[in-house]
Amino acid sequence: PRAVPQARKASLARFLEKRKERVSNT
């Protein structure tokens, strides 16, 4: 993940946001 280039940032941001939702619903 350290090497995630700029183009993947949108995917990463979405993943982290969704993860917050999943964790709070657990």
Partner 1 sequence: PAPAYFSQETLQHRLQILIEGAKESWAYAIFWQSSVDVCSGATLLGWGDGYYKGSEDDKRKRKANTAASAAEQEHRKRVLRELNSLISGGAGFSMDDAVEEEVTDSEWFFLVSMTQSFLNGTGIPGQVFFSGAPSWIAGGDRLAVAHCDRALQAQTFGIQTMVCVPVANGVVELGSTDTIFHSAEIMSKVKVVFSFNSFEN
Residues lying near partner 1 in the complex (CB under 8 A) are found at: 1-4, 7-16, 18-20, 22-24, 26
Least distance to partner 1, CB of residue 25, Å: 9
Least distance to partner 1, CB of residue 12, Å: 6
Surface-to-core class of residue 21, CB atoms within 10 Å of its CB (0-12 exposed, 13-18 middle, 19+ buried): exposed
List CB contacts of 12: < 8 A, sequence separation 6 or more: 4
Least distance to partner 1, CB of residue 6, Å: 10
DSSP 1: -
